[in-house]
Structure 1
Amino acid sequence: MIEDFHFLRPWWLLAIFLPIGIVWLASRSGNARNRWKDIIAPHLLEKLIVDASGGSRVRPSWLLSAVLTLAVFGVAGPTWEREAPPFVEDTAPLVLAVDLSPTMDAIDLTPSRLERAKLKIKDIIAQRQGARTAVIAYAGSAHLVLPLTDDASLIDTYADALATRIMPVDGKDTAAALTAAEQALSEGGVAGTVVFITDGVEQNAFDAFKRKSDNGILILGVGTAEGGPVKTADGGFLTGTGGSRVFAKLDIDALKNLHALTGVDVATITDDDADVRWIAQRVATNFAQKKSEQGDRWKDAGWLLLAPAAVLFALTFRSGWVVRLGAAFILARLVLMPTSSHAAGFADMWLTPDQQGRIAFERGNYDGAATRFHDPMWRGVALYRAGKFAEAVDAFAAVDSAESWYNQGNSLLFLSKFEEAVTAYKKALEKRKDWPEAKANLAIAENLLATQKDEEQEQQQDPNEKPDEVKFDDKGKKGKAGQVDVAEQTSEMWMKNLQVSPADLMARKFAIEVQEKKP
Structure 2
Amino acid sequence: MIADFHFLRPWWLLALVAAVVLPWLLGRQTDVRARWRGMIASGLLDHLVITRQATRKLRPVHLTAAAIALGAIAAAGPTWERERPPFVEDTAPLAIAIDLSPTMDATDISPSRLERAKLKIQDLLDRRKGARTTVFAYAGSAHMVLPLTDDAALIKTYTASLATRLMPVPGKDTARALQAAEAGLANEEAPGTILFLTDGVEQAALDAFSGYRGRHDLMVLGIGTAEGGPVRIGEGAYLTDSAGARVFAKLDVEGLKELQRQSSVQVATVTTDDTDVDWIVRRIQTAFQQKAAEGATRWRDMGWWLTIPIAVLGALWFRRGWSVQWTGVLLAAMLLALPDRADAADRRLADMWLTPDQQGRLAFERGDFAGAAERFRDPAWRGIALYRAGKFGEALDAFAQSDTAEAYYNQGNALMHLARPEQAVAAYGQALKTRPDWAEAKANLAIAEALAAAKKKDDEEQEAQDPNEKPDEIQFDDKGKKGKAGTVDAAEQTAEMWMRNIQVTPADLLARKFAIEARGETP
- Using the size of structure 2 for normalisation, the TM-score is 0.51
Alignment counterpart, residue 493 of structure 1, candidates 422, 426, 449: 449
The residue identity in structure 2 corresponding to 1:104 is M
| Deviation (angstroms), 1:272 | 1.8
| Deviation (angstroms), 1:89 | 2.2
* Equivalent in the alignment of 1:447: 387
Matches within 5 A, 1:22-421: 83-85=83-85, 88-188=88-188, 190-209=190-209, 210-295=211-296, 297-298=298-299, 411-412=366-367, 417-419=368-370
Please state whether the residue corresponding to 1:514 is helix, strand or coil.
helix
Conserved 8 A contact 1:84-1:288 = no
| Deviation (angstroms), 1:98 | 0.3
Please state whether the residue corresponding to 1:89 is helix, strand or coil.
coil
Tell me: CA distance 1:493–1:239, structure 2 relative to 1, closer, same or farther (3 Å): same
Taking every aligned residue pair, what percent have the same amino acid on both sides?
52
Tell me: CA distance 1:128–1:495, structure 2 relative to 1, closer, same or farther (3 Å): farther
Tell me: CA distance 1:271–1:296, structure 2 relative to 1, closer, same or farther (3 Å): closer
| Deviation (angstroms), 1:515 | 1.2
Tell me: CA distance 1:249–1:443, structure 2 relative to 1, closer, same or farther (3 Å): farther
Conserved 8 A contact 2:145-2:158 = yes
- In the alignment, the residues of structure 2 paired with residue 216 and residue 156 of structure 1 have an alpha-carbon distance, to the nearest angstrom, of 23
- In the alignment, the residues of structure 1 paired with residue 258 and residue 222 of structure 2 have an alpha-carbon distance, to the nearest angstrom, of 13
- In the alignment, the residues of structure 2 paired with residue 443 and residue 454 of structure 1 have an alpha-carbon distance, to the nearest angstrom, of 7
The residue identity in structure 2 corresponding to 1:240 is D
| Deviation (angstroms), 1:492 | 2.6
Please state whether the residue corresponding to 1:242 is helix, strand or coil.
coil
Deviations for 1:341-393, whole angstroms, at most 9, x for unmatched residues?
Answer: xxxxxxxxxxxxxxxxxxxxxxxxxxxxxxxxxxxxxxxxxxxxxxxxx9xxx
Does residue 511 (structure 1) correspond to residue 512 (structure 2)? The answer is no
Conserved 8 A contact 2:386-2:392 = no
| Deviation (angstroms), 1:241 | 3.1
- In the alignment, the residues of structure 2 paired with residue 446 and residue 220 of structure 1 have an alpha-carbon distance, to the nearest angstrom, of 43
Tell me: CA distance 1:285–1:236, structure 2 relative to 1, closer, same or farther (3 Å): same
| Deviation (angstroms), 1:447 | 3.3
Conserved 8 A contact 1:83-1:292 = no
- In the alignment, the residues of structure 1 paired with residue 384 and residue 191 of structure 2 have an alpha-carbon distance, to the nearest angstrom, of 19
- In the alignment, the residues of structure 1 paired with residue 200 and residue 171 of structure 2 have an alpha-carbon distance, to the nearest angstrom, of 12
* Equivalent in the alignment of 1:318: none
Conserved 8 A contact 2:88-2:190 = no
- In the alignment, the residues of structure 2 paired with residue 229 and residue 407 of structure 1 have an alpha-carbon distance, to the nearest angstrom, of 60
- In the alignment, the residues of structure 2 paired with residue 257 and residue 179 of structure 1 have an alpha-carbon distance, to the nearest angstrom, of 21
Alignment RMSD: 4.5
| Deviation (angstroms), 1:276 | 1.6
- In the alignment, the residues of structure 1 paired with residue 278 and residue 365 of structure 2 have an alpha-carbon distance, to the nearest angstrom, of 29
Tell me: CA distance 1:222–1:136, structure 2 relative to 1, closer, same or farther (3 Å): same
* Equivalent in the alignment of 2:332: none
* Equivalent in the alignment of 1:53: none
Matched pairs, number: 315
The residue identity in structure 2 corresponding to 1:230 is V
Give unmatched runs, 5+ long, in structure 2: 12-77, 302-342, 344-349, 355-359, 396-444, 455-501
| Deviation (angstroms), 1:420 | 5.1
Comparing 245-254 with 283-292, greater Cα deviation is found at 283-292
- In the alignment, the residues of structure 1 paired with residue 510 and residue 374 of structure 2 have an alpha-carbon distance, to the nearest angstrom, of 38
Deviations for 1:284-316, whole angstroms, at most 9, x for unmatched residues?
Answer: 23333333334462379xxxxxxxxxxxxxxxx
- In the alignment, the residues of structure 2 paired with residue 114 and residue 175 of structure 1 have an alpha-carbon distance, to the nearest angstrom, of 20
Please state whether the residue corresponding to 1:513 is helix, strand or coil.
helix
The residue identity in structure 2 corresponding to 1:418 is F
| Deviation (angstroms), 1:410 | 5.2
- In the alignment, the residues of structure 1 paired with residue 362 and residue 96 of structure 2 have an alpha-carbon distance, to the nearest angstrom, of 29
| Deviation (angstroms), 1:93 | 1.2
Please state whether the residue corresponding to 1:125 is helix, strand or coil.
helix
Comparing 256-265 with 107-116, greater Cα deviation is found at 256-265
- In the alignment, the residues of structure 2 paired with residue 449 and residue 292 of structure 1 have an alpha-carbon distance, to the nearest angstrom, of 36
| Deviation (angstroms), 1:84 | 1.9
The residue identity in structure 2 corresponding to 1:511 is A
Tell me: CA distance 1:285–1:442, structure 2 relative to 1, closer, same or farther (3 Å): farther
- In the alignment, the residues of structure 1 paired with residue 188 and residue 146 of structure 2 have an alpha-carbon distance, to the nearest angstrom, of 12
| Deviation (angstroms), 1:408 | 7.8
- In the alignment, the residues of structure 2 paired with residue 251 and residue 127 of structure 1 have an alpha-carbon distance, to the nearest angstrom, of 28
- In the alignment, the residues of structure 1 paired with residue 296 and residue 374 of structure 2 have an alpha-carbon distance, to the nearest angstrom, of 24
* Equivalent in the alignment of 1:72: none
- In the alignment, the residues of structure 2 paired with residue 421 and residue 130 of structure 1 have an alpha-carbon distance, to the nearest angstrom, of 27
| Deviation (angstroms), 1:279 | 1.6
Deviations for 1:376-424, whole angstroms, at most 9, x for unmatched residues?
Answer: xxxxxxxxxxxxxx9xxxxxx9xx9xxxx99985553xxxx22456899
| Deviation (angstroms), 1:149 | 1.3
Give unmatched runs, 5+ long, in structure 1: 12-75, 301-389, 391-396, 428-438, 456-488
- In the alignment, the residues of structure 1 paired with residue 386 and residue 296 of structure 2 have an alpha-carbon distance, to the nearest angstrom, of 26
